[in-house]
Amino acid sequence: MDKLIVGAAPMAGLSDRVMRALCYRMGANYACTEMISAVGWMYAKDDNPVYQRLLSLAPEETNTAIQLFGKDPKVLEEAAARATEMRCFASVDINMGCPARKVTSTGEGSALLKRPDIAVRVMEAVKAGTALPVTVKMRLGYDDDTLNACALAKAAEDIGLRWVCIHGRTREQMFAGRADLYAVAEIKRKVSIPVLFNGDIFTAEDAISALKETGCDGILIGRGAMGNPWLFREISDAIHGKEIRKPDNAERLATIEEHIDRLAAFKGERIAMLQMRTHIGHYIRGLPGAAEIRRRLHAVTTTLGQKELLRTVLQPAQKPRSAVSASGSQGASLTNE
């Protein structure tokens, strides 16, 4: 792989085009759509608003994959072909990692790890359906009795997939404990196909450590980017030996307001207001009074009200004109000392 991938991982209901755009602006060089049901998409009407939103890309997106999930190789092949015809996606990613019960209960997502024979047929079918690069995101296994990510990575290599991304947990673990760097490093050593790491990347230090300890060719960041698109900038700074740039309150407020406005334009006022409650909760995590702000957010029913509430916390108070005049140059001198 020519370039280290530091990308935004797919998160159902969260990583839409607005969030991905902000991640790209802060330095992400890859992103993936929210997972899209191959069966649902193939049988939906062309004007279905759900799939129109899921398949929509922002102008900032230059290297975004469509992520498909399902268990029927033929349907997945057809979905990959249709995605290729759209001429907007850089690659096709196969979801073998989603741990959600509503997905695994139908034998899809990480449940495919229990049926490696079907998993291999799915990879072959998607590869046959598109000329675009094909990748796959998976977990270490469904549980401790099915730790077959290495075998499937080797199969992906034989089939000709571009890379595999491995979340360092089993499906049974969900998000408990710590992602297993050692297990992913072992897989990386045993295959020649590029391997990306996913799991527990919340700081630039986490990213550098994961890359060093696994030897992986890149990282995908999911939960760590929630409310923190600046994480990609911080990782870039760390990789290049620069001073890490943290957002101040002014930058944080401007970014949240842009997120609100773009989401409202994309999905409408009501949906944007409801979804921004989750996003804002992440944006203000760790700030003084965050719990109180989240409580008050539930009483706010407009995006304008959300912005007004945030301004009371993040916008610096303006000094009275008389106080500014009275401080004069002496105030500036004291500050510089």
Within 8 A by CB and 6+ apart from 153, the residues are: 164, 166, 187, 190, 191, 193, 195
CA distances for 114 relative to 14, 19, 334, angstroms: 27, 32, 67
Residue 164 token pair: 């595999």
CA-CA distance, 174 to 169, in Å (whole number)? 7
CA-CA distance, 100 to 105, in Å (whole number)? 8
Residue 135 token pair: 């990748």
CA distances for 68 relative to 47, 81, 89, 143, 217, angstroms: 19, 12, 12, 23, 22
CA-CA distance, 23 to 2, in Å (whole number)? 21
Annotated active-site positions, please? 98
Beta carbons of 279 and 22 less than 8 angstroms apart: no
In the block, tokens 């706010």 appear at: 300
Q: What distance lies between CA 201 and its chain's CA centroid?
A: 11
Residue 264 token pair: 């409202």
Within 8 A by CB and 6+ apart from 262, the residues are: 18, 21
